[in-house]
């Protein structure tokens, strides 16, 4: 009985955070759509390549786990929260951005397409890997813990990605992303409040 009540409460918590998660995804999408087409194509190819490999050849579970464990060790001073940091911080994406900056500094800017491809590839690896890990760790039929955790972690992943990709994608505006996120969040929650609490 107690476990069932807790599951229901978690599901309602998911519904509470859902507008924020949707706002974050759409704000990120707006910025991606503002990127020049030749760059956007390589990002899409990276996501598509990962999805294809994941579905038909290799699930990259070990690769994801290794990256997450590295972040966990770096943030071991956080105690139990160190594992959460491994899910929140897309470590491979951060490393790819660093590689891109290094290549640019050395005068190898011609590798821009490869870097964008790898960036999208490892970002998809991290997000999908996190989803699988959280889904498998939630034994409840409604997967309420998974829905809440993944929703919040996905939003955090996108915010971090929006911040770190700027050196590689100057067309991607972090400030515009935050403004769009704040505006959408306000609009969505206002609409939900009006629907639920203001009689017509």
pLDDT of residue 7: 73
Residue 128: closest CA among 93, 162, 94: 93
Task: Determine if the pTM surpasses 0.85.
Answer: yes
Q: What share of the chain is helix, strand, coil (3-state, %, to 5)?
A: 85, 0, 15
Tokens of 9: 């409460």
The answer to whether the CB of 92 falls within 8 A of the CB of 67 is: yes
CB 146 within 8 A of CB 10: no
Residue 54's pLDDT is what?
A: 94
- pLDDT value of residue 141: 76
State residue 143's pLDDT score: 81
pLDDT digits (tens, 9 = 90+) for 67-100: 999 998 888 887 777 888 999 999 999 999 999 9
**What is the predicted pLDDT for the residue at 9?**
82
Taking 70 as the pLDDT cut, the residues of the chain under it are 1-4, 200
Whether 177 and 28 have beta carbons less than 8 Å apart is answered as: yes
**Residues 27-50: tens digit of each pLDDT:** 999 999 999 999 999 999 999 999
Residue in 71, 16, 48 with CA at minimum distance from that of residue 185: 16
**So what's the pLDDT on residue 4?**
66
* Tokens linked to 57: 């050849």
pLDDT of residue 1: 58
- Which of 92, 102, 83, 200 shows the shortest CA–CA distance to 153? 83
Rg, Å, the chain Cα set: 19
């Amino acid at each position: 009985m107690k476990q069932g009540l807790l599951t229901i409460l978690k599901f309602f918590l998911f519904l509470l955070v859902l507008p924020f998660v949707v706002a974050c995804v759409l704000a990120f999408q707006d910025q991606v759509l503002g990127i020049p087409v030749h760059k956007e194509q390589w990002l899409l190819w990276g996501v598509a390549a990962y999805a294809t490999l994941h579905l038909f050849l290799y699930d990259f579970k070990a690769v994801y786990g290794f990256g997450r464990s590295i972040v966990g060790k770096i943030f071991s001073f956080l105690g139990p929260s160190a594992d959460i940091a491994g899910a929140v911080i897309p470590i491979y994406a951060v490393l790819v951005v660093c590689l891109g900056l290094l290549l640019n500094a050395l005068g190898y800017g011609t590798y821009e397409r490869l870097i964008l491809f790898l960036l999208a590839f490892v970002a998809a690896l991290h997000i999908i890997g996190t989803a699988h890990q959280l889904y498998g760790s939630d034994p409840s039929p409604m997967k309420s813990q998974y829905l809440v955790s993944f929703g919040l972690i996905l939003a955090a992943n996108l915010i971090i990605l929006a911040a770190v990709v700027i050196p590689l994608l100057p067309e991607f505006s972090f400030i515009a992303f935050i403004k769009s996120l704040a505006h959408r969040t306000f609009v969505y929650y206002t609409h939900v409040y009006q629907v639920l609490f203001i009689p017509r």
